[in-house]
Structures are given as structure tokens and as C-alpha cells.
Structure 1
Amino acid sequence: MSKLASHIGFLLLTLLSLLPFWLLYALSDLLFFLIYRIFKYRKTVVMENLHNSFPEKSSKELNIIARKFYHHFCDLLVESFKMKTISEKELAKRMVVSNPELVNQYFAEGQSVLVLTMHYNNWEWNSFLPYYLKHHCLLVYNPARNLTWDRFINRMRSRFGGELVSTKKIVKAVLNYKKKQQPTFTWLCSDQRPKANTRFWTTFLNQDAGFFPGAEALAKHTNFTVIYQHIEKVKRGYYQTHFEVLAERPAQLPADEVLHRYVSKIEGIIQEHPEFYLWSHKRWKHKRPTKNQQKQS
């Protein structure tokens, strides 16, 4: 993409973010009609993921979930770009943290925390968490291939005080802040698909699935309390999030226990309200490697 095309795109997205929410949701409804009815964006992927995850559900039930997912997905797109210009006051009404005191008590004790979540409901609005929290917030992300686009997105995500840190640099960043005795809140969306030769595999939604082992390794190394963050959709454009302790002293737990607890937690949430998960992602693309393949890697 040329620089001129990028700048034109960024200008259009900025103008889009200035629209009031009622108009953005009208646009979302139009977008839903186009990608669900006309272009059928990744519909094969979505239906395959749903069928494999919920083999007990009928085709009618799966189609209802898919339809709800696409509606929510379109809302998520317009809500994400609204982050460019939305005011702090407006976002505070729409993204509410019900129990910030659970996290802030660790700050009062001079302790850092690791926070795990997933691609569920509006994870992009998590960049607003520094508004509620006292820790220095490290928001972990995977850099985009297009550097110009990456800078645009990161400026939007860091508007409210969070520090964006790439997955390759997060360990160094966490250890540097630990050395300086500055308590940190390290946020990781840990349900993404890892490489095929990843070390940790388990059953997730009735299918073999690999998970990045980095979150567990970091928790073991630092012994920071691991917290799970759940995001609930209250109504269109309004979310509530709360925290709960997943592992108090991870260094003392058996190997992979943090990951097992995390997978169990997110699986239960998805099963209760599956329409809010990111079904268009090819989450189960890789197959569990054989023991020989793992040794060779």
C-alpha cells in the first residue's frame, strides 16, 4: 500500500470515528448485510469452527449463532475505529470495570500482575483500562506487517496511557520494570493460534488446539499473580469487565497449570455465549504434531 493511499485511508477512518454512535450502528447494519448476505465473508471458516466446537447443536442452532456473531463482529469493527476520537467521558460510560480494586490492591502492595483475556466481545476497548488502574499498563500486541498501519493503530490504542509492547519485546520490558521496582499490569490476549510446533497442546472446544506457552513461562519466571479478565456485553455499545484471580503464586504450581486454568475458563465462557467469540479466525488450522515432530522442532 502506497503512503498516499495509507494517508487517505487513515483520514477516512478518522472521519468515520467522528460519527455519532447511532450512525455508526446504522453503518454496522449495512456492513452486516454486505459481509453476511452478499460477500459471505469467511462463512465457511465460521461454520466449520462452530460445527466442530458444538457437534451437539443442530444446523439451525449453529446458523443462529453465526448470524449473531456477524452482527457483533460488524459492531466491533465500527467500535474499534471509534477509539480514534472518542472522549474519555464517553468511553467511561461504555466500558465499565466493575472491580478495579482487585487489581489496585496489588499495586498498593507493590506487586505486578499478569492479566489474561481472549478475543471475546470488545477486546479493543481494553486500551481504556489505564483509566481505572494504578499500575503501569503494558498492552501486548502482534505488530502488523504494514508499519504505517501499525503506527496508526498503536497511536489509537495508546491514547489512554497504556504502553504498547510487541510479543517479542514483552519479556524484556516486564523484567526492566521489575528491576526498577515499578509495578506493572501486563495484558495478554492469549487465545491466538501459535505455530504448529508449539509445545503446549490441549483439547479446546472439542478440538486439539495449541496455545502460546509464553504467558505461563512469564508467570513462572516472575511469580506475578495471574488474573483473568472477562468482558461482558451489557447491550449494544456498552460493556462491563471484571477481574478474577487465576493463579496467586504461579511459580509453585505444576507445569502448565496456569494454561490449563486459562483454557478451562475461556471455554466455559464461550460455551455460555458463543456469539461473542472470534469465529472468523482460523483458530484450529494446525494439527497436533506427533512426538517425533515435536522432538525435531
Structure 2
Amino acid sequence: MKIMTKLVQGFLRAVSALPLGFHYAWSGVFAWLVRDVLHYRRDVVMINLSRAFPDKKYKELRRISDAFYKHFGEILAEAIWFGGCRNPERLHKKRLVEYTNLDAVEAALAVSPGVVVLNSHFGNWELTGGCLTYDYRPESERSKIDVNDIIAVYKPLSSKMWDEIMRVNRCAPVLRDGYTGYVSSLNLLRFALSHKEDKKIYIIPADQCPYRNSTVNDVVDFMHQPTRTMLGGASIAHKLHYSVFYMSLTPVTRGHYEWTFKEICRDASAMTPHSIMQEYYNLLQADLEKHPENYLWTHKRWK
């Protein structure tokens, strides 16, 4: 297993050193292959789209589906290239992601015991590991947040090999800093409680289905249908009086995203975890209605 992991990592690292333009070139071929040759989850994508956009006609849904597969290929291309950014200067110079209001989180962290940023599968979530690299202000004005105070929460994969490969890839820009903030969602509560005296920023993917044995979940309205949701991040924020933000990572053009923080509450104890998550899904739905092709439609989100 370790040998195979090293072989795959070595191959990905060699390929990731190639220019981003090269990766975009093959991403189009990849999109065509999975969409038109392999028919990868085409039925799932169309079912999800028809349920999420009941007023759209079939022709429009097919257009969105085709555009989604193009975006899907670009996600993979960008993620592989991102894994080669062991030197964060490479990522910084590319300006792949640009904040619109990083100061909003800095202001919240100054007055709150901590911050929870609820992420989603909109845009390219695999780029969040470069968060401090996307600060393009003059060096004297850049964020003073320590990289290890940014906690990237992830849902473990069933394959230990791919779980390790993805860890290294997602944390590529901060590996040389000895990054310790990559935390499994299974250990999140324990970690948060043991660090409640520390000011941390938790980036939590929140639009996934709850674990099968989860007792901390709820049902919200999302894309015109009842949707089961995890409550973990919202519950922790509620308990610890954290500020909560929705993270919008919006594609502007190919190779450029805008990262916007939308505040849900300054003190989560003033809201219920359910109301926090409902507002999160309202904001996510607004993004999807503007850019429907930029969401991960290949998974059976509604079962």
C-alpha cells in the first residue's frame, strides 16, 4: 500500500509541475470522455438537475449538464496543478483565487472566540488549502493569521491510500510550514473543544450527506426539496459562540475564482444550528441559481 501510494504521489507530482494551461488542454478531452464515451453518472446528473430546477426545460438542463462536465474536468485539472504548488509563490503569482473581503473574517476573529467558515462543493473546493496565499495585499498589510490556526476539516475517504494522497495534495502550499490543521470531521468536536481557548478558523464542508450512523443531523429546504444535512459545524459554533460565514468560491473566468465570505451570524449562540444551516443552504442555493453548472452534480445528494 505504501509503495503504491508513493508511486501515485510521484506521478502526480511530476505531472503537476506542468503549466496550468497544459492541464486545461487535457481537461476538455477528459470532460468529453466521461460525458460522451463513459457516460459517467449522466443519469444522476440529469435527475439532480431536474429536481433542483423543476421549471427548466429538458434542453436547458442538458446545456447545464454539458457545461457541468466541462467544469468537472477543470476542477480535476486545477486540483492536480495545485498539488505541485509546494512553493506557495507559484500559486501566489498565478492569482487563481482572489478574495473580495478577507477583512470581514479578520474583523470577526478580532471580536469572536473563533470563526466557522461553511464550505461547499460549489466552484473548486480543492483550492482552499492555499487560503493565505491568496492575499495579494502589500506584504506589510497581509493577514497575520498563523497558518496552523486555519483548520481544514475533511471527510475521510474509504481508501486509506487515496485519503493520504488527497491530504498531501490539498495541503501542498503549506506542507513546508509543518501544517497541523488538517482535521478529520470524525475528530472535529474533540479537536474544537480541546482548542476552545485558541482563536481558530474552521473551514468545514457542510453540504454533504450526514454519516449513516450520525445522530447530529437535520432536514432543511434546499433547491426546492427536503434535504438531510449535517449539523456538526453549526452546533460547534453555537456552543462556542463563534462567528459563522458562508464561503462562496465563484468562477469568474477560466483560471480565476473570487472567494467571498458572507456572514451568517457574529455569535452563533444567538441562532439555532438548524437556522444557521438553513441560511447556509439559502446562500448556496442563490449561488447555484446564478451558476448552476459549477456545482458537483454527480453525487446522489437527495436519496
Deviation at 1:146, TM superposition (A): 2.2
Deviation at 1:177, TM superposition (A): 2.0
TM-score by length of 2: 0.87
Q: Match for 1:147: what amino acid?
A: K
Query: Counterparts in 2 of 1:32-47, with a 5 A limit?
Result: 32-47=31-46
Question: Which stretch of structure 1 is more off in the superposition, 4-13 or 48-57?
Answer: 4-13
Q: Residues 137 and 185 of structure 1 are in contact (CA less than 8 Å); yes or no, is this contact kept in structure 2? A: yes
Query: What SS does the aligned partner of 2:263 have?
Result: strand
Question: Which stretch of structure 1 is more off in the superposition, 150-159 or 270-279?
Answer: 150-159
1:101 match: 103
Separation of aligned partners in 1, 2:173 and 2:17: 18
Question: Which stretch of structure 1 is more off in the superposition, 148-157 or 116-125?
Answer: 148-157
Q: Does 1:91 align with 2:91?
A: yes
1:193 to 195, 209, 212: 209
Deviation at 1:193, TM superposition (A): 1.2
The alpha-carbon distance between structure 1 residues 10 and 106, as it changes in their structure 2 partners (threshold 3 A), is same
In structure 1, stretches of 5+ residues that fail to align are 286-297
Q: Residues 112 and 266 of structure 2 are in contact (CA less than 8 Å); yes or no, is this contact kept in structure 1? A: no
Query: What SS does the aligned partner of 1:201 have?
Result: strand
Q: Residues 98 and 259 of structure 2 are in contact (CA less than 8 Å); yes or no, is this contact kept in structure 1? A: yes
Q: How many residues align?
A: 282
Q: Match for 1:259: what amino acid?
A: M
Q: Match for 1:168: what amino acid?
A: L
Deviation at 1:3, TM superposition (A): 4.3
The C-alpha deviation readout for 1:70-104, integer Å capped at 9, x for no partner, is 00000001111112212423423111112111112
Question: Which stretch of structure 1 is more off in the superposition, 5-14 or 241-250?
Answer: 5-14
Separation of aligned partners in 1, 2:273 and 2:63: 39
In structure 2, stretches of 5+ residues that fail to align are 136-142
Q: Match for 1:78: what amino acid?
A: A
Deviation at 1:152, TM superposition (A): 2.2
Separation of aligned partners in 2, 1:32 and 1:183: 42
Over the aligned positions, Cα root-mean-square deviation in angstroms equals: 1.8
Q: Match for 1:50: what amino acid?
A: L
Q: Match for 2:203: what amino acid?
A: W
1:126 to 128, 137, 142: 128
Query: Counterparts in 2 of 1:45-56, with a 5 A limit?
Result: 45-56=44-55
Separation of aligned partners in 1, 2:273 and 2:299: 28
The C-alpha deviation readout for 1:227-286, integer Å capped at 9, x for no partner, is 11111112111111011211112212245211111111111111111100100011112x
